[in-house]
Amino acid sequence: MSLFVDIEKKLGDFTLRVQFEAGDETLALFGASGCGKSMTLKCIAGVEKPDRGRIVCGDTVFFDSERKIDLPPQKRRVGFLFQSYALFPNMTVRQNISAGVRTLRGAAREERVEKVLRTMRIAHIANQYPRTLSGGEQQRTALARILVNEPQLLLLDEPFSALDSHLRFELEREVGAISRSFGKTALLVSHDRGEVFRLCDSIAVMHAGEVELVDTKSAVFENPRTKNAALLTHCRNISRIEQLGEDRIRALDWGVELTVTRDFTLARYVAIRPHNIALGSEENAVRCRLVQAVNEPFSAALTLVTEDGGEIFWETDKATCARAMTGEVNISFPPQALLPLF
């Protein structure tokens, strides 16, 4: 199954302009809150109507403004998991799932419902009502109601946002297994970098209503390419640059000159991830003053200031942190770890 999306929709302060393609994979719509991720899902599902554009899933045209095509949601065969789960409070688990079956009747309908109850491991709560269920049981029920109709496209809108950390981890594994076994296109809306990395094959980075880049998850994390993508993937150290030569730049916000190994010809910024900074006075050494150190359970997060007043965030182990607790410290930016951003 393939998905093609090319739409526009006016949204208050900005216009949603989204274009991407996805194959048999889990693709993340990754961006900050308010950038248009959830609205994109709603347009695909038919809950909202774009102002113009085209949405095609496999051989089915969901929406085409030029050809006046706009299939209603029930004809799109899309499984949409909302943040709130949207279970019917006056129906049991079994009845909620049965309500999702659109084409089967009688014994065939009951058989399909029983099968998904077993698959999702919720047969033991089949006669309970949503108000008596835990958050995890509610989510499993909502997923079962989606999967019972055998959708051709799966849409997940921040499905773990209402769960505590332990339950979130458990259900994340389940949803990941479901997405992989689904064998079709699945879209996950998220602003959580760990969630995106663990669950998705590819990432569409969104900012202010537009898709900045689409690539594999490894490519986006290894080389984010845009400032917004770098921030989303937790690359907190970013500086404007001035080109000094083929392999030399000046980081204007840090007040240091740096040797680089990547192509910075068209770059506007340089970035380095906090955990890639090293202790010592090797190549690209920077003298800093320690202003804050925060101990995490198994590591330490340090805030440093360069001699020109630039702020640097450094993540390291506790032993290295202890060696740096003298007030001033020499750190180095390995050339291969410096990322060009455009």
Report the share of the chain in percent with pLDDT over 70.
Answer: 98
pLDDT digits (tens, 9 = 90+) for 129-171: 999 998 888 888 988 998 888 889 999 998 877 666 666 777 7
Q: What are phi and psi of 145, to 5 degrees?
A: -65, -30
Question: Coil, strand, or helix at residue 77?
Answer: coil
How would residue 81 be classed by pLDDT, with cut points 50, 70 and 90? confident
Residue ranges of E strands in 2-110: 3-11, 14-22, 26-30, 52-57, 60-64, 69-70, 78-81
Beta bridge partners of 204: 29, 214
Closest among 122, 169, 118, 167 to 141, alpha carbons compared: 122
Sequence length of the chain is: 342
Q: What is the pLDDT of residues 9-47, one digit of tens each?
A: 998 888 999 999 999 999 999 999 999 999 999 999 999
Instruction: Name the residue ranges covered by the structural domains of the chain.
Output: 3-223, 235-341
How much of the chain exceeds pLDDT 90, in percent? Answer: 70
* pTM for the model: 0.87
Residue 107 zone, left/alpha/beta (φ > 0; ψ -120 to 50; rest): alpha
Give CA–CA dist 132/306, Å, rounded. 56
Q: How many helices and strands, by DSSP H and E, does the chain display?
A: 9, 21
Counting Cβ atoms within 10 Å, is residue 334 exposed (0-12), middle (13-18) or buried (19+)? Answer: middle
Beta-carbon neighbour count of residue 54 at 10 Å?
18
- Domain 235-341 is in which class? mainly beta
Q: What pLDDT is stored for residue 10 in this prediction?
A: 95
Q: Options 3.40.720.10, 3.90.1530.10, 1.10.10.10, 3.40.50.300; which CATH number does 3-223 get?
A: 3.40.50.300
313 alpha-carbon distance from chain centroid: 23
More reliable by pLDDT, 221 or 14: 221
Average pLDDT over residues 89-93: 96
